[in-house]
Structure 1
């Protein structure tokens, strides 16, 4: 019996060793397969921070903004706390802007402001953010085709105005403040024209309260723009239709006192033309659907 027990133990040990050997061989075969199919790819060698930054600047100088973005992104990823990291983040905003990546440029600007609120060049980040939205508003199509910009969505114009306004209010001595002020005036005119366009749209459809509110917004918030007299005239017209004679007379008085030679053609609701009636309003009206009414 003792001999039988001994043989059983020996057999068990042999089986365990056999299983271990099979396991080791399987592991080696798997590692070899990974190596054959590219599992052990060599990592790219580290590029010194100074070299990466110099290459990024060279790409910017050459106008190769796609390459500049790649280099600056790599620099930020590998050296997030390096001596060029803050400047590289600023350069990245500019590279995105010049590479026609507005969303990325604005995000990079917001990130820089959040991480470095006291940086000596933070005004530049605000300026680039405003400039990005400014150029986005003046789209390529609008530059080369006669499109009435007052009918386009002013979302980018609003973002641009807010960025320039922040720069001017917080850093009035900034070297970018004078140019920002000029662009803000352009944007105010653009936004006022849009408000008047929307007000006319509401007048045509008999939504006189909405029309009056749009006109009042221009008079109160977008003063010194060419759209003010039209806004006043729309207010007078809308209030007249609503039976608010005092408000109508007040708007008319302000209009005559400040713009005595202004002539206004009413856009109040009219009878539908035969074409509009026949096509259920699908044709015969040049108006476009504007943005929803502003919450008061």
Structure 2
């Protein structure tokens, strides 16, 4: 019996497909035996492993555990808490971008979760600590070239917590941090004014100092801002404006160093305005 060429071609093709399929199954089973144990853990086991990682300070293990839990079990109470824990683990592991993305996703997905107030608080903490690192890295550098976005975002995040959940157990700490952030933003603007003053850019210095007074009244930086205005106006020959600013300075800050000829000091000490940066 003769076999046609077309039939032989079909037979060879079928045999090749079977060989490839069998080889794939073998590789799959070998890979499964050598795979990540997390692939076969229950949701309870994955959650416990993640919590144990957090308790032991092993943030990498916690991140892997909670990430795997969320991918394998996308619904349920464990998933909700795991996403919150994942954001915290990423925050502690110095991954602020990942943490911020995760916590924002949690707030949008679970807006009525019983711990959503903590989610708002954690969102503020992420940028608060990122702001602290930003300030410490750039102390003494030209502050006209530095972005304050993290400072303002953290301030807004804590403000959102206070407006939505004023009775939250995290509100008192958030309020303290907002005070510190406000001082930090005022100091950042004051440093810019001092930068201009040092370089004899008196118009820019006086304008920036005036902005500090208007935007951040009653902050510790207000006295220095007034002193910048006095010095700048004197240099510009605007004695009336200088006299007005000096009168306010003497009334509110009678012991200010500029009134005794011992000012300005251009070295910045603004990192001292971050008393809470290592908490949370």
Residue in structure 1 matched with residue 196 of structure 2 by the alignment: 202
Distance 1:86 1:24 in 2: 48
Which structure's residues are more often helix, by fraction? 2
2:242 matched to 1:252?
no
Select 2:10's aligned residue among 14, 20, 26: 20
1:191-230: CA deviations, max 9, x gaps?
2222111111112333333222221222122223221111
Residue ranges of structure 1 left out of the alignment (5+ in a row): 1-9, 268-284, 288-296
Bigger RCO (CA 8 Å, 6+ sep): 2
Given that 1:127 and 1:163 are in contact with CA atoms closer than 8 Å, whether structure 2 keeps it comes out as yes
**Matching residue within 72, 82, 86 for 2:80:** 86
Give the superposition deviation at 1:33.
Answer: 4.8
Q: CA deviation at 1:74?
A: 1.0
What pairs with 1:200-279 in structure 2 (closer than 5 Å)?
200-264=194-258
Residue 256 to residue 89, structure 1, CA distance change in 2 (3 Å): same
Q: Following the alignment from structure 1 to structure 2, what is the Cα–Cα distance between the partners of residues 149 and 51?
A: 49
Deviation at 1:175, TM superposition (A): 0.8
1:121 aligns with 2:115: yes
Q: Distance in 2 between matches of 1:93 and 1:137?
A: 18
The alpha-carbon deviation at position 56 of structure 1 amounts to 1.6
In structure 2, do the counterparts of structure 1 residues 209 and 60 end up closer, same or farther at CA, with 3 Å as the change threshold? Answer: same
Judged with a 3 Å threshold, the aligned counterparts in structure 2 of structure 1 residues 110 and 149 are, in CA distance, closer, same or farther, namely farther
- Post-superposition Cα deviations, 1:104-132, rounded to whole Å, max 9, x if no partner, equal 11111211222223333222112112222
1:152-203 CA-to-partner distances (Å, cap 9, x unmatched) read 7644333322222222233221111111122222222222222111111112
Show the counterpart of 2:164.
170
Larger Rg: 1
Distance in 2 separating the partners of 1:65 and 1:74: 14
Q: Output the aligned Cα RMSD.
A: 3.2
Post-superposition offset of 1:96: 1.2
TM-score by length of 2: 0.78
1:66-94 residue CA offsets vs partner (Å, 9 max, x unmatched): 11111111111111111222222211121
Residues 75-114 of structure 1 mapped to structure 2, 5 A cutoff:
75-114=69-108
Q: Which residue of 2 aligns with 1:135?
A: 129
Give the unaligned 5+ runs of structure 2. 269-280
What does 1:181-196 align with in structure 2 at a 5 Å threshold? Answer: 181-196=175-190
